[in-house]
Structure 1
Amino acid sequence: MTCKHCGASISENEEKCPYCDSYIDHPARNSSYNNGYPQNRQGFCVQGPDEPQALFIVISLMIPLLGIILGVINISGGHPKSGKLYIILGAASMIFLFGCTFLFPMMFALIPFAHMK
């Protein structure tokens, strides 16, 4: 069997591709019922290999909330490697922007009071 994300040859019993960490869809194993309840919708899948895209990296750094959303979409779509990267970059950018916006100005505002006796 070949992975539809990266094209590598993998065994039939694999749940995840060992080369690109994408989840493998096994249509023979999937039934129309999940825990006794019918499934009414098809699974969500992001197309292509699980490689981070440069545009999404820039978006994650410039607009942190959008980067976190992109990460969640990629993880739920079967691309855990790139999804984790977008979430980490979005969170780090959010922390950096919070520090630059609130913490650093407060520190510099308190400097004149530190030299008073």
Structure 2
Amino acid sequence: MTCKHCGASISENDVKCPYCDSYIDHGTANNSANPYNNGYQGQNRPAFRIQGPDEPQTILIVFSLLIPFLGIILGVLNLNGEHPKCGKLYLILGIASFFLISCGTFIFPFLFALPFIHMK
């Protein structure tokens, strides 16, 4: 038998390749069901899910506007947790708030100072 990862010749009974330390897939039910477990025979973790209805909450909308990075994190978590409506809203509010805050902090004061810079 050859290792699929490094091509070395290995024994049929090896669980792990002695040359590249990769786990060997022997075609068992657990390995074929999840190709990303790299031969690990342990329990498969359940997918991350957020419970409850897919309805935006007012307090989380306010937090997404006041703390942009929290809105982006909430958006990604809700999109991965199978709540697309909330995820898109929090993500859009977080990104928009980030740009509004950064423009208000850096760009707008510079634009208002331009006329005074050229005065003699």
- TM-score, with structure 2 as normaliser: 0.64
User: What fraction of aligned residue pairs are identical, expressed as a percent?
Assistant: 56
Residue 86 of structure 1: aligned partner: 90
1:62, CA displacement in angstroms?
A: 0.2
Residue 18 of structure 2: aligned partner: none
Going from structure 1 to structure 2, the CA distance change for 1:98 and 1:36 (only over 3 Å counts) comes to closer
Aligned residues: 86
Residue 104 of structure 2: aligned partner: 100
1:108, CA displacement in angstroms?
A: 1.0
Measured in 1, the distance between the counterparts of 2:34 and 2:89 equals 31
Residue 77 of structure 1: aligned partner: 81
Measured in 2, the distance between the counterparts of 1:43 and 1:71 equals 17
Cα RMSD (Å): 2.1
The 3-state SS of whatever aligns with 2:51 is: coil
Q: Select the structure of larger CA radius of gyration.
A: 2
Deviations for 1:39-86, whole angstroms, at most 9, x for unmatched residues? 621111101111111011000000000000001111111101100100
Aligned residue among 99, 111, 116 for 2:115:
111
Aligned residue among 39, 43, 46 for 1:42:
46
Residue 70 of structure 2: aligned partner: 66
